Amino acid sequence: MIKINRFVPILFLGIFYALPTFCQLPKAFSDISLTNLDAFQQAGKNWTISSDALADFTKKGDIQSISGTGAVVNNVSPGNRSHLITKQSFGDLVLELDFMMSKNSNSGVYLQGRYEVQLFDSWTKLKPSFDDCGGIYQRWDDSRGKNNEGFEGIAPLMNVAKAPGLWQHLKIIFRAPKFDEKGNKISNAVFEQVYLNGTLVQTQVSVTGPTRSSLLEDEQPTGPLMLQGDHGNIAFRNIRFATPEKSIKNENAINPILVNAEGKPYLLRSFLNYGQKKLTHVISVGHPNQLNYSYDLKQGALFQIWRGEFLDVTQMWRQRGEPQLAKPLGAVIVLSDAPALALLGNPDQAWPDSVAFDDFQNKGYTLDANRFPSFQYSFNGISVSDKISATEPTSLVRQLKITDAPKGLYLRLAAADEIASLGNGLYAIGNKSFYITLDNSQQPIIRKSTLGKELIVAIPADVSTYSYSITW
C-alpha cells in the first residue's frame, strides 16, 4: 500500500480502491423479529420494543423510544442493565444490523456470546483503538501481571463512526472455532470481515479465545448472539443473519495508492462515478479532521460526503491511470448531484435535475487562509460564491454568497426518502442518516418530491449570504 500524505493545490486525475478482499456469498438472510422480545432469553426491563429511537447528540446518554415495533432500545438504570441474548445459537455467521449510539455510550456485539465487536461513541476520533467502534475488543488475563492483563485487541482500520442519534450499519462475517472429533480446538474463531457504515474496518482477525466481559468463557462450535446492555444506552434494528458460503479470495488485488490530508486540506480533481454516471468535472476535498466531500463543478452540487481516510488514486496514478477514476476510502453518504440553487415559479414546482450548459458558467475557486475553497459560478445572470469549510471535526459548514438574487430563487438543502424536523433548526435527513442545522431565523419548507421529501428555502432579494451545516 502506497500512502501519500501531503498537500497539493490541485490535481487533475482519478482512482480505484484495490485492497485485497474476500468475497462472501451468503445464503438467504433470516430476520430476528423485533415485534416483541420472544427471540431473546429473559430480556430485562432495560430493553424496550420500539418503532424507532431518538437521541440528542449533545446530551450524554440521551435516547428515547418511539412507540411501535421494529426496533429495540436499551435504557440502562442501576437496577436494570441486562444483556440481550438470543435463544438461537450460531456457528459460522454473516450478521447485519443497524444501531444508534447515545452520546458517550458503550456497547458491543458478541458473536457466540464470546467474541466482541465493540460499539462505542467514537465520533470524530482520528486514531481509533481496539475499544473504539468497529474494534475487536481485547482479551483479558489477570495472570499476565499488572498493566499487561489486556491483549490481542485490534483497532479498526479507520474510524467511520457517525454522530450519536444517527443510525449506523454493521456487517460481520464470522467463522466459528473448529474442533476435532475429540473436542480439541484445531482452528481459532476468525472475523473474516467487519464493515462499519459500508467501510471495511477489520479483515482476517483471528481470536484465540473469548474477549473480555464475554457471556461464556469456554469455546464451542456454536453460541448465542449477545447485545451488550450493561454499559450504556443504545438502539438496534434490522437484525438479520445468514450462513456464509466458502470464502473466495480476490486474486487480482493490487497495492493501492492512497492519498490523505495531513496538516492542510487536500484538493484533487478527478473523474468520479455517481450511480450509473461518470462525473468529469469534480473536485474532492479532504481535511486533516477526516471530513471529506466531492463537488460537481458543472452543477454547483455538493454530491457526496464521507468520514475516514480520503481517496484511493490507484486508477489515476498507476500506469497513467486509464480509467481516471477516484474512489473515497471512508463511509460515503451520497447526496444529490442536482444544482443547489434553482429558479422556481412557485414552491411546488419540481426541482430541476441539472442546469443547461449555456446557463451555467464555472469561474473557478479561491482559497482562504485555511485553504478552504470557495467555488465561484454564475447561472441565469446570478453570481454565486459557494464556500465549504471544515473548521470543526463535527460538521461541514456551507456558505453561499449570492449577488442580485431574483424573486423565485430557492436553495435545496436536502433531498431524501425521509426528512424530519427535530426542533431548534435541526433536521434529520434520510431516516437519521445525517443532520442539517439552520439558523432559527430561516424558514425552510419540507415538501414531497419524486425522491420522497425535499428541504428547500426561499432566498429573499435582501439576503446576500445563506449558510447551514451538515453533521454526521
User: What pLDDT is attached to residue 1?
Assistant: 56
Could you give phi then psi for residue 342, rounded to 5 degrees?
Answer: -155, 150
Alpha carbons 298 and 257: distance in angstroms, whole number? 27
Q: Calculate the CA 212 to chain-centre distance.
A: 27
Alpha carbons 409 and 85: distance in angstroms, whole number? 54
Q: Are strands 257-260 and 311-312 parallel, antiparallel or unpaired?
A: antiparallel
User: What pLDDT is attached to residue 381?
Assistant: 87
Per-10-residue mean pLDDT, the chain, length 472:
49 35 65 98 96 97 97 95 97 98 98 98 97 98 95 97 98 98 97 98 97 97 97 97 78 79 95 94 97 97 98 87 86 96 94 91 96 95 96 97 91 96 96 94 90 93 89 98
User: What pLDDT is attached to residue 254?
Assistant: 72
List, as one string, the DSSP characters of 379-395.
Answer: ETTEEEEEEEE--STTE
User: What pLDDT is attached to residue 327?
Assistant: 95
Alpha carbons 464 and 214: distance in angstroms, whole number? 58
User: What pLDDT is attached to residue 319?
Assistant: 75
Alpha carbons 445 and 28: distance in angstroms, whole number? 41
pTM > 0.95: yes or no: no
Alpha carbons 296 and 434: distance in angstroms, whole number? 21
Q: With H, G, I as helix, E, B as strand and everything else as coil, classify residue 216.
A: coil
Q: Where in the chain is the domain with CATH 2.60.120.560?
A: 22-248
User: What pLDDT is attached to residue 427?
Assistant: 97
User: What pLDDT is attached to residue 4?
Assistant: 62
447 touches 454 (CB < 8 A): yes
35 touches 20 (CB < 8 A): no
Closest CA to 341 of 421, 406, 291, 269: 406
Q: Which CATH number fits domain 22-248: 3.40.50.1110, 1.10.10.60, 2.60.120.560, 3.40.640.10?
A: 2.60.120.560
User: What pLDDT is attached to residue 18?
Assistant: 35
Q: What stretch of H or E contains 317?
A: helix 314-317
